[in-house]
Structure 1
């Protein structure tokens, strides 16, 4: 009889309660990590899209500043001041690699469509300096609407 009690009092191994608590705790930790990593992937994708748009806006600004056509556009449209109605929207079709689409001209990068909006104007303070403000906004089509991604400001020096 004494041997029977010793065998039943053996505490080696895990009970069902301990196993269930362990499984629940591990599940909570795993679910926490899964939600963290999924949010991290979504954030990374959004940052990549904005960074691509920003890089493209910088490339557009560089191309416009190096272009010979900017001077003729400024002369033809008689750009005055930024508050004036005569500031010009430079057509995105002048950008290398632009494609005409449903919402205007766009640039296709990584199967995404980026729509640049380019404006050239000048402030009263820059009249004597021959400087024109270059404003580039980049949009992306999302769910049938245009989503603003980034904007860039730069100056163009033009001989008058």
Structure 2
């Protein structure tokens, strides 16, 4: 009787399928991570834009006692409200509140930034 000894090199079909499944699971997990990263990045960009807009409007209001309430930045519309907090006014200083919203109804849910400062009384 002749015995044949085969030294097989390579992978079987089952080994290939198992490796594809494992790779698919890993890629699915990574895809979820990347989508969360994009979401947080977008939220941070919106927050930074709101803060910069609030500072710009505050400077504008201090200089001229007027401001533009609607701003289109990077295709997104922001709505600004500036209020003088006269209940807390002193002889020399007027407290100001600048609020930036993403909805024209200025609801608390759409509030993105609140900035408080003082302005010299004239």
**Shift of residue 145, structure 1, vs aligned partner:** 7.9
What CA distance in whole angstroms lies between the structure 2 residues aligned with 1:108 and 1:36? 31
What CA distance in whole angstroms lies between the structure 1 residues aligned with 2:58 and 2:106? 25
What is the match of residue 33 of structure 1? 30
Q: Are residues 53 and 29 of structure 1, via their aligned partners in 2, closer, same or farther at CA, if it must alter by over 3 Å?
A: same
**Shift of residue 123, structure 1, vs aligned partner:** 4.6
What CA distance in whole angstroms lies between the structure 1 residues aligned with 2:82 and 2:106? 19
Q: Report 1:105-116 matches (<5 A).
A: 105-116=69-80
Q: Deviations over 1:57-114 (max 9, x none)?
A: 00011111122xx3xxxxxxxxxxxxxxxxxxxxxxx32xx4xxxxxx4111111111
Instruction: Note if contact 1:134-1:153 (Cα within 8 Å) is conserved in structure 2.
Output: yes
Give the gaps of 5 or more residues in structure 1: 71-93, 99-104
Secondary structure in structure 2 of the residue aligned to 1:35: helix
Q: Are residues 145 and 14 of structure 1, via their aligned partners in 2, closer, same or farther at CA, if it must alter by over 3 Å?
A: farther
Q: Are residues 145 and 115 of structure 1, via their aligned partners in 2, closer, same or farther at CA, if it must alter by over 3 Å?
A: closer
| From 96, 99, 108, the counterpart of 1:137 | 99
Runs of 4+ in structure 1 deviating by more than 4 angstroms, as ranges, are none
Give the gaps of 5 or more residues in structure 2: none
Residue 24 (structure 1) aligned with residue 33 (structure 2): no
TM-score of the aligned structures, taking structure 1 as reference length: 0.67
